[in-house]
Structure 1
Amino acid sequence: LQWQNIDELHRIHMVPSSYNFVESNKSYEKQLLALIHDQLLNYDPVKDQLVPGLAKTYEVSPDGLRWTFRLRDAHTPDGSKLTADDVVFSFNLCLDSRFDCKQRGNLVLGNKPIKASAVSPLTVQFDLPQPFHSFDWALAGVTIVPSKTYSKVAETPETFRQAVGVQQPEAEFMLGFGPYYVDTQDTQEVRLVRNDRFWGRTDERIPRPYLKRITLVLRNEDVTSNLDFLHNDRYVYRMVGPMEAGHLKENTQFEILDRGLSGWCTFFWVNQNPHAPWGKEYPKRLELFQNVAFRRALAHAIDRQEIVHRVYEGYAEPLYGPVSPVYGWAASSTVLEEVTPETNVQAALSELAELGVLPGEPDADGKRWLTYEEVGGRIPLEIEIRTSKDEEDRRRKTAEEIKSQLNEIGIRVKVVEERFGEMVTRLDKTFDYEAAVMLLSGAPNPTTLKFFFESSGPMHFVNPYQKSPATEWERSVDEYFHTFATSPDPVQRERAILELQKTWSAAQPAFHLVVDRKLVAVRRDYEVNGIALTGRASDPILDRTVIENVRLRRIAHRDKVGAW
């Protein structure tokens, strides 16, 4: 065989609606932004640890209150040199309460913000109001940008969003300290070119990444891309679900790689927010949703093995806690399964009856649906589950399977599918939904889920932004997380995060259902050196620390006259 080196990667990618590195919470936008910009530290999914980014080294004072970072010699494509002032500016941008930055919760301790200061042109100092042993993980979520580019537009949230909260920002906002920059963009493609001033180099001083160009071919979330991948040989790989993997296995052009369990998990929850608009009309239903006993009764009706079988065709495992087992801090399934209600329809009906949720009169088909006492009389218990679109329809199918399981015990369920952006607005702004099925992103360290666990967190979906914990279980979770974050004793921290997970699973604020296996289809006429064969990587090639080391080559094909 004769091989030719390839220096450009083509990848089908969701259309980015924004390049807002402060406020975006869409995973595919964050993935693109991570190629353009950089952080002080980056998570390496292969090593499962933080690795140096824009910071060469750092040190922590004995009392844990001062963290000092030494910056490397880094530049944007147009030659702007990284300075400590850039880091301070970027850090304070995340701290600015006028902006909707989900990372802010990790930068404020005991209601006091962490202070960043430039000690020298390449030295940054962070002074903490109290110890925070995993502050390095918090910093890994802060994007560093050149202050001279953004200082003017960041004076107000409005001018900032006008500059970067759009699909095609001005060219100056497409340059960062990351490995690539956006060279050109239109409605069809985003064309990235390697930042030849990027700090990454091999030991032989060869520039990294090795790939000089990345072309992202754009698609909307309601348009499938499997046919494009199948019939266009410029696409090297594609992450696939079990259905598509089954079809591609029969095609000799492709190899299916099983990267193991994912870092992401599928979960279902009922809205417990007292500000939910529908709660005014159905206050007793909201009270049920807020009741731990009701949620535990509901949990008896959920059969995770059936979801694994029917929705994921066996390419998943049951999950009983809030984090995938691929991460070392996750409690064992055995421990969490012990505090999670087992699948038992009769137990579900019995416990619901104790709460006054009882079968009503038979309908025309003889079905006795469950009813409860609402203000104004007894009515059927109905739940509307919302979810967002995904290519293999797994979230909708999961919601439909939950519907089937809840129907079995007599609860009426309606499934509504909508765009991800619409879902985000409901979860974060209007709170106008009854229940939802979504994916929870990977969490290599508990710090990355602080905004999910803590009652004050913006992504504590069941009831976010609380000024003080509304329930005892939430108070306990907050206290356990505080102990984990501040205790100098590693044994105490480990015990606290274990008890947090057990408390969470016992209260069932959300029903964590399954963790799927990550499958990727690769064309056999390509050789990919450096692909990340771990489910911890959200993308086996495009992940920030992976792309630096990827090399491509392809079998050379003869042309019509027989030449290579």
Structure 2
Amino acid sequence: MTFPAAKTALILLAAGLCACSRPPEIRRGEFPLPADAEISECTPGNYGGVFVLAASQEPKTFNPLIATDAYSSQIIDLILSPLVTVDPFTMNPIPALAKSWTISEDKKTYRFDLREGVKFSDGVEITADDVIFTFETIFAPSLGEDGKPLADKSTGRPLLRYPSRYAGQYTIGGEPVKFRKTGKYSVEFSTKKAYAPFLTDIGFVGILPKHRLEKAAADGSFQQAWSTQTAISNPSEIAASGPFQIFSYKPGERLALKPNPHYWRADKKGNRLPYIDFLIYKFVADANTSTILFATGQCDASNVGANDYAWVKNYAETYKFKIYERGPDTGIFFVWFNLNPGSAEDGKPYVAPHKLKWFSNPEFRRAVMKAVDRDGLIKSVWFGRARKLDGIISPANKKWHNPDTPKYSYDPESARRMLVSQGFSYDASGRLLDPQKNRVEFEFIVADGSQNATAMSTTFVENMRAIGIEVRLKFMDFGTMISKIDNTFEYEAALMGFTGGGDPSGGKAIYRSDGFLHVWNPRQKSPATEWERRVDEIMDAQEVEFDPARRKALVDEMQNIFSRELPLLFLVTPMSYSGVSEKWRNVRVPPVGSVIWNIDELYDPSESEGGGK
């Protein structure tokens, strides 16, 4: 089989079709554009084509209030539109489902006017009722047998029926944001305090279709709604407002998206976007396979790891793609220890008390940090195409990054001295013992499927052995790892990464002591340490600070605290590279974020005008 024929077969297989059949027809122009359609400034293109991506992880859910992982969120962002989004070039808020907004003089009240006539993919109009339903669900209280809202006995805070990170994100000045319908196409939000990043934050969540999810929210089954099983058996149930809707999902093989026939954007000729007929996510074993498929012309776009850049670039001319060099990545890699002092239902502590004592000692964490050979990681894993990470905000986020945080150079001898100064000692074999003569050892969990994670974790184990610490490396699938971190807390140490970029308010769930993503000790009822209390105060203060310089100073202080206390042991941030097939037009690569952020505007000029009807 020739390569073009092989690729065609791949696309048909990915779409869940027989290679001898034609792809299903995508009908265009059946429905009129809404009166308030947004007209894109992109070069008008033509319909048709299949855009193929390779993904090493599958979505865990299609419910935005349940999703906690980046893989699910990336898909959901293509299916559901928020009120407001962010221009990735200017980082300023721009309209999405809301066509405009006004802000009161005291900056505590925001009125949003929705685009009139916009519909979900099933043809039901999007109105203020959907916005109100979305936020009512976020803040829905857990009810007792008497039907009255329940409260946490120790804090007095209401217990939520459907806990999510959004409840914390939209709690401002200690109180949930207030919201009300002011018209069929208008809503109003009010905050206790003026809140500088409100317009950014309001765009974090896609607006839910009330007509599809109201029953689940009412009967208690909302957390099971829009699951992967829904996408398998009844994909049309997941009503879309974004550029795409689910066509079909086959776990372990592919997810196929097709255009939303009621999408609210069009080009200057009045043609409704998106142009492409199908967006296919082909699931592969690991990130390395994704890279190989892109480098050999079998998918259309990919992030290219810094350690893969050199060899992938060699194939660019053969397979007609372009690689964009984008500077440091916005994501961060780190190691952390489980500092959760709680216990399981059977009374067993999540972390053995003597180990929790080590992990909770910031001097122990600093000693471990000094024992990690990050320069070696950069050379061996990324071939020099990475930077040491010294803080919780990547240098890619130039607006907010603090370059003057505490630094930790590789010095294993200094690490040994620091441990001895804390009462640790070494036996005759060079093994590290704590003051009670317990051997210092722990289990280290890492998600499998990533060549980089494997290399980093292996190096970490070797670095720890050099200072007398025995680390048992345990690989597991990503879903199991997330469950341990987020639900059962049955682990001792872990390696992971966070995506980043944008306003620091987007990291509230990580930074705050009560945050869902405060991974070392999440959802604290009150700050466990004084430094966490200070970070909470800083996050509160920066939210109401409208002076850019003073707000930046607060965020700088927060970064200094994280680098001093080291709840996360920062490793590296690789240089960022992205590749896109040369056949696609309207590609505009922003400084940070997805290289196909405007996938609704991409088109293949080689496709005939009749590619979609």
TM-score of the pair, normalised by structure 2: 0.82
Mean Cα deviation higher: 507-516 or 190-199 = 190-199
One-letter amino acid of the counterpart of residue 586, structure 2: G
1:8 to 30, 33, 50: 50
Aligned pairs for 1:87-106 within 5 A: 87-96=131-140, 97-106=160-169
SS at match of 1:105: helix
Aligned pairs for 1:33-432 within 5 A: 33-73=76-116, 74-96=118-140, 97-164=160-227, 166=229, 167-168=231-232, 170-187=234-251, 188-219=253-284, 224-226=289-291, 228-229=293-294, 233=297, 235-251=299-315, 252-254=317-319, 255=321, 256-275=323-342, 282-333=352-403, 335-336=404-405, 339-362=406-429, 368-374=430-436, 378-391=437-450, 393-432=451-490
Name 1:458's counterpart in structure 2.
516
Cα offsets for 1:473-520 (capped at 9, x unmatched): 111111111110123444332221111111111111111211112223
SS at match of 2:583: strand
Whole-Å Cα distance in 2 between the matches of residues 27 and 132 of structure 1? 26
Q: Is the 8 A contact 1:296 1:508 kept in 2?
A: yes
Aligned pairs for 1:540-559 within 5 A: 540-541=595-596, 543=597, 546-553=598-605
Whole-Å Cα distance in 2 between the matches of residues 234 and 296 of structure 1? 45
CA 128–381 in structure 1, closer or farther in 2 if over 3 Å, else same: same
Cα offsets for 1:345-385 (capped at 9, x unmatched): 222111111111111122xxxxx1111134xxx12211222
Please, what is the CA RMSD of the aligned residues?
A: 2.5
Are residues 1:506 and 2:548 paired?
Answer: no
One-letter amino acid of the counterpart of residue 204, structure 2: G
CA 275–443 in structure 1, closer or farther in 2 if over 3 Å, else same: farther
Displacement after TM superposition at 1:20 (Å): 1.7
CA 61–313 in structure 1, closer or farther in 2 if over 3 Å, else same: same
Displacement after TM superposition at 1:201 (Å): 1.9
Whole-Å Cα distance in 2 between the matches of residues 443 and 104 of structure 1? 21
CA 31–169 in structure 1, closer or farther in 2 if over 3 Å, else same: farther
Whole-Å Cα distance in 2 between the matches of residues 15 and 39 of structure 1? 23
SS at match of 1:267: strand
Whole-Å Cα distance in 2 between the matches of residues 498 and 123 of structure 1? 37
One-letter amino acid of the counterpart of residue 374, structure 2: R
1:445 to 481, 499, 503: 503
Displacement after TM superposition at 1:471 (Å): 0.8
- Taking only the aligned residue pairs, the percentage that are identical comes to 25
Displacement after TM superposition at 1:270 (Å): 1.4
One-letter amino acid of the counterpart of residue 246, structure 1: A
One-letter amino acid of the counterpart of residue 533, structure 2: R
Task: Say how many residue pairs are matched.
Answer: 535
CA 103–220 in structure 1, closer or farther in 2 if over 3 Å, else same: farther
CA 4–281 in structure 1, closer or farther in 2 if over 3 Å, else same: closer
Displacement after TM superposition at 1:184 (Å): 3.2
Whole-Å Cα distance in 2 between the matches of residues 80 and 253 of structure 1? 47
SS at match of 1:379: coil
Name 2:9's counterpart in structure 1.
none
Aligned pairs for 1:465-476 within 5 A: 465-476=523-534
Displacement after TM superposition at 1:553 (Å): 3.9
Displacement after TM superposition at 1:67 (Å): 1.0
Displacement after TM superposition at 1:522 (Å): 4.1
Name 1:529's counterpart in structure 2.
585
Whole-Å Cα distance in 2 between the matches of residues 346 and 234 of structure 1? 49
Whole-Å Cα distance in 2 between the matches of residues 107 and 191 of structure 1? 33
Q: Is the 8 A contact 1:267 1:511 kept in 2?
A: yes
Whole-Å Cα distance in 2 between the matches of residues 300 and 234 of structure 1? 42
Whole-Å Cα distance in 1 between the matches of residues 214 and 462 of structure 2? 53
Whole-Å Cα distance in 1 between the matches of residues 194 and 422 of structure 2? 44
Name 1:562's counterpart in structure 2.
none
SS at match of 1:152: helix
More strand by share: 1
Whole-Å Cα distance in 1 between the matches of residues 285 and 100 of structure 2? 41
Displacement after TM superposition at 1:258 (Å): 2.4
1:20 to 63, 82, 107: 63
Q: Is the 8 A contact 2:351 2:492 kept in 1?
A: no
SS at match of 1:289: helix
Whole-Å Cα distance in 2 between the matches of residues 412 and 205 of structure 1? 64
CA 129–56 in structure 1, closer or farther in 2 if over 3 Å, else same: same
Whole-Å Cα distance in 2 between the matches of residues 82 and 4 of structure 1? 28
Cα offsets for 1:134-162 (capped at 9, x unmatched): 11222111110221121112224425515
Whole-Å Cα distance in 1 between the matches of residues 559 and 222 of structure 2? 41
Whole-Å Cα distance in 1 between the matches of residues 435 and 233 of structure 2? 54
Whole-Å Cα distance in 1 between the matches of residues 505 and 294 of structure 2? 37
Mean Cα deviation higher: 197-206 or 445-454 = 197-206
TM-score of the pair, normalised by structure 1: 0.88
Unmatched segments (≥5 aa) in structure 1: 363-367, 557-564
